[in-house]
Structure 1
């Protein structure tokens, strides 16, 4: 099972999303977790390396909804990758 952490900035940005945006991200997150469990990528999420910052990935959760994340060190005693959520919002997160 994948493990996850979030940084404070992600939590602040998530709290500013509308309820509909939060629901859209939560649906995408469930797809993401399922794909991680199965060891595959879900093409609907368009997860790809973020070109401006090595080691960071971007994930699409809505037409103008993006989340940035990175792989962290595996959690001892837990199977699966460890994901650290960094940013969430619109395309604007790429420039801020």
Structure 2
């Protein structure tokens, strides 16, 4: 088993924002369920739509900065950016990058 490397500051920021982006995705999915399936309220879509929009933009920005600072290969940056589109995909990408050492300075 490959050891998990200590995270750099950019790696820590990427990991934190990946978690936030996934959490807002989960909230938005729950909000869409409440709005379109149960037809009880649209408050979840209203709130988490805004939060997720902000988290998405923050994730894209942090991914680019982390990619530049940590000298990711182009494929890694493209994978990180693509992970923002499908729901909750930032979590396995963050875990994979952490295991490969892409979130550490060494």
Both structures adopt the same fold (TM-score exceeding 0.5):
no
Instruction: Give the TM-score of the pair, scaled to structure 1.
Output: 0.35
Larger strand percent? 1
| Higher RCO, Cα 8 Å, sep 6+ | 2
Instruction: Give the TM-score of the pair, scaled to structure 2.
Output: 0.32
Larger helix percent? 2
Structure (1 or 2) with the larger CA radius of gyration: 2
